[in-house]
Structure 1
């Protein structure tokens, strides 16, 4: 750091009572001080204020008239429930990827073909995948599947075993690094007649990875703008859907979940969740007014 750069003084620690006073001074209504402090003891002040930011006035540090502590808290509760619900479809897609990619690659290149950089587009990305895989194997070395191949196959792991310990981020990156012919093969095999190209799949897996990682770290989904432009199929581009918020990931997920019973059930539960929190403005998650019709439309 240059000598002439001065560090900003760190903010002082505040008590729960002082934190409430900050809210009050910024025109937030606190319905019950005791209950509010109980909540702040469980939810860190800065996590709570992340939801309150939505209710800040544009021209000052004050909150919009009518903003209450309980209103902000309900947004936190909604977000927690939405994260849990969203993870259900991520799990479905992630498990499918653990099956689809290994099947196609093993059929073409053999059980250990994934270890050969020549079978992929870019050597450096393949090297990074192999390094990340080794870390996952070391971290999960006690897993029965890993221990079996370590002891019986000289620490060699067929792709179907390797993918069982891989993260969705790694699988997304590996798919992106496949040769175009292999991406198209997976596209045709598992997502036929859906007007989906491998370019959309690349993007969708990446987008799901970003949101999935936020869910895994209990980070906010509400009013969160993803640093990736969400792509849609050529036909869906005409719908004018948002390209930066959660709804885009949810909408595209309907093409990745092939069991319509599972999907329709998930949408029904999502509808119930939204109805339970009518106080939440779901447009700040990218939801259009006809969101349920769009998700159910084949």
Structure 2
């Protein structure tokens, strides 16, 4: 095992290192400011796209001709705005999923989220969370622990205090969902009885419920990356979206039917799914146009930074999905 022995570099030394490798800058003060606000290591995730590759595709330490620190910073700043746009859409999805779960499970049992044996899929809830878990906890046990912590964190909220002071402290599902984050919501969706999952999934578009379950899992992962400020624009995500079968999903996603696995791990596929579900559940949504507007601002560095690196098809701007006209709200 090799010991990491690279030395600490001052900001000036960091700039000198970039220049030495072929990444100049125009303004010294602005370059220093960029390093101080972003950090050399964090910025390296964006300068990486500018590095040369040899004939075998191996990444070298030198940057391609035409690289500049300004271009790398522009790419970083584009990613910041892209995350903000995605978070707005993911928040809308989270709220819509909360509503659907609260409404559907609430009809069955207002405390259904606390009754895994009767109101939820007991078999799935009782599945071991991890064979290595010393306590032998189930998936539901883990979920309930996280839910209880969220309730405790929210105990100063007026609606939580109301249920603690006037009733037995348990939150009915329509109140409980308000303390859950998307991760808890997505897991609770997976715990629901199949009939309830099907009712909910069809409100978001997919005819096959397992497709929607996979989408919620992937969108939750995307939300986590965005919330933690991770690089998004060219990331290959952990989960691969299921293959898209034409006729089983929104026809506006048909262009993804032939996408290879690698492309279904890229941002474009996730953004397309998010645009589809948002406009299906809320015809007033303007999110697809907001995302398309931001995506078009990808800093132009020919053959170095491209939309294809994000999984975008070449004709994406002409697709119906991104030209969606929201229904006008009545006054």
TM-score (normalised: structure 1): 0.89
Q: 4+ runs of 1 displaced by more than 4 Å?
A: none
Give the Cα–Cα distance (whole angstroms) in 2 for the partners of residues 10 and 170 of structure 1: 42
- Shift in Å, 1:274: 3.4
- Shift in Å, 1:221: 0.4
Unaligned runs of 5+ in 2: 55-59, 127-137, 247-253, 325-331
Residues 275 and 288 in structure 2, CA contact (< 8 A), matched pair in contact too: no
2:180 aligned to 166, 189, 201, which one? Answer: 166
1:260 aligned to 283, 292, 299, which one? Answer: 283
Residues 232 and 252 in structure 1, CA contact (< 8 A), matched pair in contact too: no
| Aligned-residue CA RMSD (Å) | 2.0
- Residues 118-197 of structure 1 mapped to structure 2, 5 A cutoff: 118=117, 119-120=120-121, 121-123=124-126, 124-188=138-202, 190-191=203-204, 194-197=205-208
Unaligned runs of 5+ in 1: 1-5
- Residues 225-264 of structure 1 mapped to structure 2, 5 A cutoff: 225-235=236-246, 236=254, 237-240=256-259, 242-257=263-278, 258=280, 259-262=282-285
**Structure 1 residues 266 and 215 mapped into 2: Cα distance closer, same or farther (>3 Å)?**
same
1:56 aligned to 51, 61, 78, which one? Answer: 51
- Residues 1-298 of structure 1 mapped to structure 2, 5 A cutoff: 8-9=3-4, 11-59=6-54, 60-108=60-108, 110-118=109-117, 119-120=120-121, 121-123=124-126, 124-188=138-202, 190-191=203-204, 194-235=205-246, 236=254, 237-240=256-259, 242-257=263-278, 258=280, 259-262=282-285, 265-279=286-300, 280-292=305-317, 293-296=319-322
Give the Cα–Cα distance (whole angstroms) in 1 for the partners of residues 206 and 181 of structure 2: 27
Give the Cα–Cα distance (whole angstroms) in 2 for the partners of residues 232 and 177 of structure 1: 23
- Shift in Å, 1:171: 0.9
- Shift in Å, 1:78: 0.7
SS at match of 2:62: coil
Note the alpha carbon deviations across 1:227-276, whole angstroms, 9 max, x for none. Answer: 100125311353426211111111112331133342xx333333332344
Q: If each structure's helix is expressed as a fraction of its own residues, which one has the higher value?
A: 1
SS at match of 1:95: helix
User: Please, which moves more after superposition, 84-93 or 250-259?
Assistant: 250-259
User: Please, which moves more after superposition, 116-125 or 134-143?
Assistant: 116-125
SS at match of 1:57: strand
Give the Cα–Cα distance (whole angstroms) in 2 for the partners of residues 14 and 296 of structure 1: 45
- Shift in Å, 1:294: 4.8
Residues 244 and 257 in structure 2, CA contact (< 8 A), matched pair in contact too: no
Give the Cα–Cα distance (whole angstroms) in 2 for the partners of residues 107 and 15 of structure 1: 62
User: Please, which moves more after superposition, 133-142 or 233-242?
Assistant: 233-242
Number of equivalent positions: 287
Residues 71 and 299 in structure 2, CA contact (< 8 A), matched pair in contact too: no
